[in-house]
Amino acid sequence: MNLMLHRLQAALNELDVQQLRRSRRIADSACATRVRVDGRELLSFNSNDYLGLASDPRVVEALREGALRYGAGSGASHLVSGHSRPHAQLEELLAHWQAPYIERARGLAVSTGYMANLAVLAALAQPEPNHTVIFSDALNHASLIDGARLSKAQVVVYPHADAQALAELMAKHATQHPQVTNRVVVTDSVFSMDGDLAPLPDLLALCERYGAWLVVDDAHGLGVLGAHGAGALEHFGLRSPHVVWMGTLGKAAGVSGACIVAHDTVVEWLVQKARSYIYTTASAPALAHALLTSLNIVSSAEGQQRRAHLAALRMGFHDVLLPAAWYRLPSETAIQPLVVGQNAQVLQLARALYEQGLWISAIRAPTVPTGTARLRITFSAAHTLEDVQQLKHALEAAAQHQGAALPQAEEASP
Ligand SMILES: *Cc1c(COP(=O)(O)O)cnc(C)c1O
């Protein structure tokens, strides 16, 4: 074998040794709670389709209608000729949703959340990267980490969800680097692998004190948080011109894409300068057309019912009996992680659940810190309470099968 391939093969072998090799299963059915995988029907707790809209017939029909009206592809980037009426309507809709929380709110539809995060961080630093510092939560999503790298600004990582530690770091940085005039604080609103919330009111207060931007990645908040599903800003009732909001549209909204909402001037700067927005083909207009339907469901009374059902599912899972060595993270969202620890153990658990007809992915480093390998259990409004019972029984059976002693029932009850 030639040397270059040999080097890659050796690195792949090392992943095997560390139980870090990932593989993909091929689904033969739509994203739903019951999926066909490798010829078997499985109950899935994997997807980010929190409201169960990805295969909703009304959304699918809107996608079809959008394709009939606007074709299969956009044909060009937004600044050339790919920007179509449904993209503009989508931007207006999401700007309208965030308008109570962001002054002079304007939307910008971007093809993916990953690209939107690159766009925001690179563009906010771009006028003067040497005079910019990005303060980034230790558990931020990979796309925010990559956006911070792309920006060429200084990056200071602050301890997870710790506004007090951030305050100290910002104060220290201000005295040590007086030339830095442009500050950006960036955070997930709901942390994707932990399910907890960022302390947005405290972070915003700091940003206002320092004249800093607060970039909020609401990938797991949009559709799930807030009475109308507008996300984390609605949930906390924040309002500020400092906020740059980003929501993804492939999760609770059930389709694909992302939207940035910020002050008109910020969005105009992004349109002019954000390379991951400019130098890529606009998403298919049909996707934006389908999103107009799904987002209307999200904000409707039906959307509220779906969010209430999601909360009921979470409560139904509350009393699952698990071995002491495993722990659940305190999460008030649809993301219910179960930390098992070592890679080999979590893989064994995921396999045992798979044998029982449940599909839940094992999440390992570098997606989560080493030693905190976990099952990332996610609920969807399309799940039933019976599905959650099945999950609980399967977890309890798998725990016994792995030889991990279950706590006594009376110990587990409050
Ligand atoms: C999924 C996700 C993204 C990326 O969004 P895509 O539209 O899938 O590219 C960004 N940030 C967070 C926190 C996410 O969970």
For ligand 1, atom 10: residue with the closest CA: 113
Residues flanking ligand 1, CB < 6 Å: 112-114, 117, 141, 143, 188, 192, 217, 219-220, 248, 250, 258
Residue 114, CA atoms < 13 Å, CB-side half-sphere: 4
Same fold, 25-55+301-401 and 57-299: no
pLDDT of res. 332: 87
The phi-psi region of residue 121 (left if phi > 0; otherwise alpha if psi is between -120 and 50; otherwise beta) is alpha
Q: What is the mean pLDDT of residues 256-273?
A: 98
- Mark 170-186 as b/e (b = at least 16 C-beta within 10 Å): beebeeeeeebebbbbb
Q: How far is the CA of 15 from the centre of ligand 1 (A)?
A: 25
Per-residue confidence at 409, pLDDT binned at 50, 70, 90?
very low
- Per-residue pLDDT tens digits for 380-389: 999 999 999 9
State the average pLDDT for the chain: 95
pLDDT of res. 300: 98
172 pLDDT more than 90: yes
**For the CA of 115, the nearest atom of ligand 1:** 9
Per-residue confidence at 411, pLDDT binned at 50, 70, 90?
very low
To test the ligand 1 pocket, which listed residue (46, 110, 112, 143) has its Cβ within 8 A of the most ligand atoms? Answer: 143
Q: Among 227-236, 286-295, 350-359, 395-404, which is the least confidently predicted range?
A: 395-404
How far is the C-alpha of 309 from the C-alpha of 134, rounded, in Å?
A: 38
Q: What is the mean pLDDT of residues 298-318?
A: 97
Q: Among 21-25, 138-142, 187-191, which is the least confidently predicted range?
A: 21-25
Find out whether 188 and 220 touch, Cβ atoms under 8 Å: yes
For ligand 1, atom 14: residue with the closest CA: 219
**34 - beta bridge partners?**
43
Q: What is the mean pLDDT of residues 275-296?
A: 98
- Per-residue pLDDT tens digits for 59-104: 999 999 999 999 999 999 999 999 999 999 999 999 999 999 999 9
Q: How far is the CA of 113 from the centre of ligand 1 (A)?
A: 5
pLDDT of res. 170: 98
Q: Where do the domains of the chain lie?
A: 25-55+301-401, 57-299
Q: How far is the CA of 244 from the centre of ligand 1 (A)?
A: 16
Task: Tell which residue, 338, 326, 336, has the closest CA to residue 48.
Answer: 336
Q: By 3-state DSSP, what share of the chain in percent is helix, strand and coil, each rounded to 5?
A: 45, 20, 40
Strands (E), 264-396: 327-328, 335-341, 358-359, 362-363, 373-378
Q: How far is the CA of 401 from the centre of ligand 1 (A)?
A: 35
Q: What is the mean pLDDT of residues 127-132?
A: 92
State whether residue 155 is helix, strand or coil: strand
Q: How far is the CA of 66 from the centre of ligand 1 (A)?
A: 24
To test the ligand 1 pocket, which listed residue (120, 192, 256) has its Cβ within 8 A of the most ligand atoms? Answer: 192
Q: How far is the CA of 116 from the centre of ligand 1 (A)?
A: 9
pLDDT of res. 407: 58
410 pLDDT more than 60: no
393 pLDDT more than 60: yes
308 pLDDT more than 80: yes
pLDDT of res. 405: 54
Q: How far is the CA of 229 from the centre of ligand 1 (A)?
A: 17
For ligand 1, atom 8: residue with the closest CA: 113
To test the ligand 1 pocket, which listed residue (120, 217, 218, 260) has its Cβ within 8 A of the most ligand atoms? Answer: 217
Q: How far is the CA of 324 from the centre of ligand 1 (A)?
A: 32
Q: How far is the CA of 114 from the centre of ligand 1 (A)?
A: 6
Q: What is the mean pLDDT of residues 339-349?
A: 93
**For the CA of 248, the nearest atom of ligand 1:** 7
pLDDT of res. 206: 98
The class level of CATH for 57-299 reads alpha beta
Q: How far is the CA of 322 from the centre of ligand 1 (A)?
A: 30
Q: Is 167 or 127 the better-scoring residue by pLDDT?
A: 167
324 pLDDT more than 90: no
Q: Is 324 or 280 the better-scoring residue by pLDDT?
A: 280
CATH code that applies to domain 25-55+301-401: 3.90.1150.10
Most confident of the following: 32-41, 154-163, 366-375, 396-405: 154-163
pTM (predicted TM-score)? 0.95
Share of the chain above pLDDT 70, in %: 97
For ligand 1, atom 5: residue with the closest CA: 113
- Tokens 């949009």, residue located: 222
